[in-house]
Structure 1
Amino acid sequence: MSDEVLLERSEAEELAMRACLAAGASRSSARSLVDATLSAALYGPPTLGFPHMVDYLNSFREGRIKCDPVPTLKRAFPAFLVSDADGGIAQLGFDLAFNDLTETVRHFGIAIFTQTNSYTTGELGYYVRRLADEGIVGLAATNANTLMVAKAGGPSVYSTNPIAFGFPLGDKSLPLIIDQASSATAYVNIVAAAAEGRSIPEGWAVDENGADTQDPTKALAGALLPFGGRKGANVALLVEMLSAGLSGGPWSLDTPDFRSGNVSPAVGLTVVAMMPGRADDGRVSRAHHQAARLQEQGVFVPGVSGMKFPRSPSEGLKVPRSAFETICRFASNG
């Protein structure tokens, strides 16, 4: 039996919607989460697509996500939008603010969206990809509960604290999307390795005693390591200040676990939106040519290299069997 299930895009969307609604999510929350999940499955890391949806479904059911939130949006400054997700998913608050954000950045050339009081943000690249699809440059940062040490042997003080950047490359190309954790790897990669019974590379994580480990089960009981030592830890701190600091959300040290308990992690998210010059500046075309030139030099351009474009609407989606079966149980049992 294959470890993956191939679904038509419409089948995957319908199954995911039924599972979200059965788990208790409001239709608006379900719609936002399914859209983000499909985007991650098509263009992002596969682990942040349907496998991560299982975390959301469990969290709807167990009370870590408010099922029927009413996010609020305020304008602290002319180009500074502040959202309170009301304990719901981050994607819903962002979706509700999206038109205001894009109108603001087109007027001022730059705009900031910052949000607190949400569940973990999921694939961070989704937020800047949405902006890039509108011809807008984006930078995003978020935090969550502590999963990473600043140095080997030290206590966990940061989450994986990812940062994402998106730059549109025109209608004839996918946008450049950089989405990476401050840790040596994403937490979901440790979870996937543990579930599949395979080892992890040295330098990814430490066990509960602070010793380097290649056993993902021991890593889950321990902590992740930052990429590049102190430099990676500094990036994590930068992300912490952009997300929790700017939004007013909880620091990673004060954030509840997003996979257990019945309390919202209430994390912070900040998205900076920027126009790539005026329409006649040719900045997008210039970036497109530079990305092509880099690829000719053998450089991997994230979001573009190795990706099919355009994607056929009839192209199926591969869903890990374990995630598919869990989502099916949610959809069937209600």
Structure 2
Amino acid sequence: MATPTEQQQPKPAAAVTEEEETRKLYVTAADAQAFTEAVLRGNGAPADHARTVAECLVAADLRGVDTHGVNRLPSYMARVRAGVLDAAATPTLTQVTPAAAQVDGHNTFGAVAGGVAMQAAVDMARVYGIGMVSVKHSNHFGMSAWLVQKALDEGMMSLVFTNSSPALPAWGARSKLLGVSPIACGAPGGDDESPFILDMAPSVAARGKVYKAKRRGEKIPLDWALDAEGRPTDDPAAALEGVMLPMGGPKGSALSIMMDVFSGVFSGSAFAGHVTNPYDPSRPADVGHFLVAIKPDLFMPLADFRARMRHLYDRVVKESEPAAGVDRVYFPGEIEQRTERERRRAGIPYVEAEVRALNEEAQRVGAEAIRVSADGGGG
């Protein structure tokens, strides 16, 4: 049974033990949403922007993508306070053709600009079968799967691209140039419980995992990154000074270039290493995105499409014989769905240092501290 929910107050650094730094504190999805909205509103975000950004961040935490969750809030707010992210700006939509549009984010939150773009793509796809939207002058838009899920909620297939700040070298080079830019896509499944959701970085590991390890005082695997001298490192701080390693060598490098072509070059946003790091409050990020929504019944009746997806799921999950040491085979996105169900029940786990950083943001704007419980159970 969960312990009584309490207001988690920051502790002086000297009073925080190593055990406290690593023990888990649990927050319900509703409390995480309310807390995040309050901090965002306190930093000048309109209520609708605050709700959208909070939904995006909390969705990442619920799916276990902690690198893109509520812990991104301090970096977002630092950029707002520095004047390089406009919390109140409203994206504008320009219709280019009946099935293509462009969104100018006007330097607001990426989740807000991306949400406007995906809704426009869905609306066009309902009429024309496909809708595509290019987004310019945006910011970090959180977990790509959140936008994929937006399309799924409307019964649509989707492609979600973005570019990002330099972290990878071009294959054969040694300096940072390409972003660890995720490629994401989705399609309705044979039923609502088994959609296809792919969201992956072109690197061995997402750079957000390195930031998370640094925040938590953890080591990283030696095959994730190189330090500034080009040597494998398990120190996340050294990794952030060096370069991430692309998955599959030249294949990961080429995928990252593809993200820059479709998201940066095509949109008119920054590209070729000129996107600003989301933890750098010195200038606007100028991120670009590219989103496509597609009607799944464009070429066949929807019932046939769903039956074919059900067959694919069964072949992958139920009929594939697990390899040695593997309990079962999963469909892309299925593990995250299971994590979400568990975290909705037990709460989202954070460590002491993360809660302390969040509460410092709340204190800046006079918002209430985030409500936590000391064990899982939904608070």
> TM-score if structure 1 supplies the norm length?
0.92
1:217 aligns with 2:240: no
- Equivalences for residues 158-237 of structure 1 within 5 A: 158-237=178-257
Structure 2 counterpart of 1:302, which letter? P
Note if contact 1:153-1:210 (Cα within 8 Å) is conserved in structure 2. no
Moved more, 314-323 or 232-241: 314-323
Find the partner of 1:69 among 77, 89, 98.
89
- Residues 282 and 43 (structure 1 numbering): CA distance in 2 closer, same or farther, change over 3 Å? farther
Deviation, 1:309, is: 9.1
Structure 2 counterpart of 1:288, which letter? R
Match of 2:27 in 1: 7
Find the partner of 2:306 among 284, 294, 311.
284
Note if contact 1:193-1:200 (Cα within 8 Å) is conserved in structure 2. yes
Cα distance in structure 1, aligned partners of 2:272 and 2:144: 17
Cα distance in structure 2, aligned partners of 1:310 and 1:53: 20
Match of 2:362 in 1: 331
Note if contact 2:227-2:239 (Cα within 8 Å) is conserved in structure 1. yes
Cα distance in structure 1, aligned partners of 2:310 and 2:335: 13
Cα distance in structure 2, aligned partners of 1:305 and 1:330: 31
Note if contact 2:67-2:211 (Cα within 8 Å) is conserved in structure 1. no
Structure 2 counterpart of 1:292, which letter? D
Match of 1:40 in 2: 60
Note if contact 2:108-2:138 (Cα within 8 Å) is conserved in structure 1. yes
In structure 2, list runs of 5 or more residues that go unmatched. Answer: 1-19, 321-327, 366-379
- Residues 284 and 44 (structure 1 numbering): CA distance in 2 closer, same or farther, change over 3 Å? farther
Find the partner of 1:79 among 99, 103, 108.
99
Note if contact 1:23-1:330 (Cα within 8 Å) is conserved in structure 2. no
Match of 1:110 in 2: 130
- Residues 263 and 28 (structure 1 numbering): CA distance in 2 closer, same or farther, change over 3 Å? farther
Deviation, 1:252, is: 4.1
- Equivalences for residues 252-291 of structure 1 within 5 A: 252-277=272-297, 278-291=300-313
- Residues 38 and 194 (structure 1 numbering): CA distance in 2 closer, same or farther, change over 3 Å? closer
Cα distance in structure 2, aligned partners of 1:313 and 1:191: 22
Cα distance in structure 1, aligned partners of 2:64 and 2:280: 25
In structure 1, list runs of 5 or more residues that go unmatched. Answer: none
Cα distance in structure 2, aligned partners of 1:265 and 1:314: 33
Task: Output one character per residue of 1:214-256: Cα deviation in whole Å (capped at 9) or x when no partner.
Answer: 2222111111111111111111111111111221111041222
Cα distance in structure 1, aligned partners of 2:292 and 2:119: 14
Match of 2:154 in 1: 134
- Equivalences for residues 11-30 of structure 1 within 5 A: 11-30=31-50
Task: Output one character per residue of 1:97-147: Cα deviation in whole Å (capped at 9) or x when no partner.
Answer: 444322210111111011010111211111111101211111111111111
| Bigger Rg, structure 1 or 2 | 2
Cα distance in structure 2, aligned partners of 1:4 and 1:261: 30
Cα distance in structure 2, aligned partners of 1:261 and 1:14: 25
SS at match of 2:76: helix
Aligned CA-pair RMSD: 2.2
Note if contact 2:264-2:271 (Cα within 8 Å) is conserved in structure 1. yes
Note if contact 1:24-1:61 (Cα within 8 Å) is conserved in structure 2. no
Deviation, 1:83, is: 0.2
